[in-house]
Structure 1
């Protein structure tokens, strides 16, 4: 579990407390349909008592397994995400300032970690920037083999224009 006990710094404005977690992918739940966490998730950071709230700053380190949108092969990327969030015990203050609310001395950042990883995912997953993708005729992975298919397809609506170029 990713819980931070802030009782040690709750009475001392300006004091910090370091935190570090190693979590399993199942601790934060599933991500998206086209990517999943592989191996441990490391979270490191500090909690600071600002007087009005607790400011959490840190980094998330993880490995994500994704499916390439061009060639449909799985690939892994090591990722690092930074975060900075504020939490307060005062429910009214949380609503006014639009920050996170918590009760007691424990701040659970499991949902925060999951949300940061999900929101940082690109809309297009590519195994490499020069991925060739799949052959539109036979479906072969063009990164692994050249299939020899004629992939120059002409839109039938424009085929008459092709004849003009021949003249």
Structure 2
């Protein structure tokens, strides 16, 4: 799927090579419950032999469809996620230097791409910063229509005071 063959630069410290992948959403799998990938996932970058490791850096571009947390409407946003990771064949070095370990000449970045996309998702999905959400009374989407419901809520602990105010009018 997304495998980089570094044999071309394995013996040449300081050399780099470019890579490019186009993947389908099925190749990445499900993201999180209320988001999914739509359209191709494009990954472009370079692999550099630093002498101690291979530095893989690049950019992921994709379309992410989400459900707004306020109005529950589906919306789409273009994701643009930079990344940089280091890979080594030496297991001890990988543990002490917080690097990824690989065998042979092939570095598989499929899981890395998926993790980058998932970790870049916001904790709150909004179709727009000024999304009005849903009416708490009738459930109408307030971005599309003004329903006219009385949405003024009173704290139940203060309801008795509200009744007193209405009696004194």
TM-score w.r.t. length of structure 2:
0.95
Cα distance in 1 for partners of 2:139, 2:29 equals: 33
1:3-22 equivalences in 2 (<5 Å): 3-22=3-22
Alignment of 1:61-80 (within 5 A): 61-80=61-80
**d(CA) in 2 for partners of 1:10, 1:141:** 57
For residue 98 of structure 1, report the CA deviation from its aligned partner: 1.5
Deviations 1:36-86 (A, max 9, x none): 000000000000000010000100000000000000000000010000000
SS of 2:117's equivalent? helix
Gaps of 5+ in 1: none
Q: SS at 1:95's partner residue?
A: helix
In structure 1, the partner of 2:114 is 114
CA shift for structure 1 position 160: 3.4
Q: CA deviation at 1:164?
A: 5.5
- The residue that corresponds to 1:55 in the other structure is 55
Taking structure 1 as the reference length, the TM-score comes to 0.96
Displacement of 1:159: 2.2
- Point out 4+ residue stretches in structure 1 off by more than 3 angstroms: 160-167
Which residues of 2 match residues 125-136 of structure 1 at below 5 A?
125-136=125-136
Partner of 2:90: 90
- 1:137 maps to 137
CA offsets 1:75-125 (integer angstroms, 9 cap, x no match) = 000010000000001111111112100000000000000000000110000
Instruction: List alignment gaps of at least 5 residues for structure 2.
Output: none
Using the alignment, how far apart are the partners of 1:46 and 1:29 within structure 2? 24
